[in-house]
Structure 1
């Protein structure tokens, strides 16, 4: 069985995620994020990899979030004049981690937010001892 090629927005972001992979880890998607200091999100077979400036003021940090640390993945309900209301008419996702830490991601399109949500949820539910 072959693994599909990863979905990504920018080649250089994909290369950064590739450089940080563990043995046997696969990339499913790398999405560019919107907002001040926003970086990008890598979704792999073992974890989420977040590159952003929220941890260090003048440098980007790579933050790894194993799926078993994620308590909730939520899609924002946002009215869209063209598509109406709906949980996947928004480009925002919220992750709640153990210990009340949370992340909000704004993607460059509702389709990317939906894909990220579904990948993350699938991994949360299929982790050994998953939620």
Structure 2
């Protein structure tokens, strides 16, 4: 069994009941921004825990990897004067014509998520 990469233990514990016995959890990344949640990646799907979905309700949204048509990662390395101050990264996942953007704290999170998703697609 592979080790799960995660940012916060409570997010890992919160998503664990949603992971089916036939799938393997690979990562859980904390999302950047107010009212956001976290993104979990399994070998079969993306699970987005959205605290801001439908107003004040919380929702668990699933994107099967088999439906993903495009994936892109982008990083923001900060400014010239403070290269580590505002470091973030974005992952864009498209399902047909609909695209979802996820923003993470840290320059490497989107790229790691990208790699895990690509591994699941190939």
TM-score bracket, shorter-length normalisation: 0.7 to 0.9
Measure how far apart 1:101 and its partner are. Answer: 1.4
Give structure 2 stretches of 5+ with no counterpart: 81-86
Q: Which of residues 101, 113, 118 in structure 2 aligns to 1:116?
A: 113
Measure how far apart 1:112 and its partner are. Answer: 1.3
Q: 3-state SS of the aligned residue for 1:25?
A: coil
In the superposition, the TM-score normalised over structure 2's length comes to: 0.85
Q: Which residue number corresponds to residue 67 of structure 1?
A: 65
Give structure 1 stretches of 5+ with no counterpart: 83-88, 126-131
Q: Pairwise CA RMSD of aligned residues?
A: 1.8
Q: Deviations over 1:25-61 (max 9, x none)?
A: 1111000000232100000111000011343211210
Q: Which residue number corresponds to residue 92 of structure 2?
A: 94
Q: Which residue number corresponds to residue 102 of structure 2?
A: 105
Alignment CA distance shift 1:79-1:15 (3 Å): closer
Aligned length: 116
Measure how far apart 1:77 and its partner are. Answer: 5.9
In the superposition, the TM-score normalised over structure 1's length comes to: 0.79
4+ residue runs over 2 A deviation: 76-82
Q: 3-state SS of the aligned residue for 1:107?
A: strand
Between Structure 1 and Structure 2, the one with more strand by share is 2
Alignment CA distance shift 1:22-1:36 (3 Å): same
